Amino acid sequence: MERRLTAILAADVVGYSRLMEHDEAGTLAALKSRRREILQPAVSKHHGRIVKLMGDGVLVEFGSAVNAVACAVELQEKNGRLQHNGPRGSTDRFARRGQPGRRDGRGQRSLW
């Protein structure tokens, strides 16, 4: 068995069930768009590999913790710009767990 060091980035959409209840088609379209336009390019740029997509969640493997953190920061920054530019309450408001200074309704820090 080969052993190797790996850094894993795990991310999900905070409030996904609520968003799906409110507008299923819009939420799925926004999620697909963000995966294509933000997630996949950032993962490639930082030499990661998407291991698993699960509804609103993703697991990404990196050979370097530095690359994993750089990717996470980029995802937060890009999603934050979209979130703050979208209309309040829209399906485009994907909160990010771990963002400094923000908390979601459950008291958790709001990643992607």
Domain boundaries, the chain: 7-85
Residues 3-13 have a mean pLDDT of 92
- Asked whether 42 and 77 are in contact (CB, 8 A), the reply is no
3-state secondary structure 91-102: CCCCECCCCCCC
pTM over 0.75: no
pLDDT number for residue 79: 82
| Structure tokens given for 102 | 């923000």
Reply yes or no on whether the pLDDT at 99 is more than 90.
Answer: no
Would you report the helix, strand and coil content of the chain in percent, each value rounded to 5? Answer: 45, 20, 35
- Domain covering 7-85, topology: Alpha-Beta Plaits (3.30.70)
pLDDT tens digit sequence for 43-90: 999 999 999 999 899 999 999 999 999 999 999 999 876 665 544 444
- Asked whether 68 and 75 are in contact (CB, 8 A), the reply is no
| Structure tokens given for 21 | 């209840």
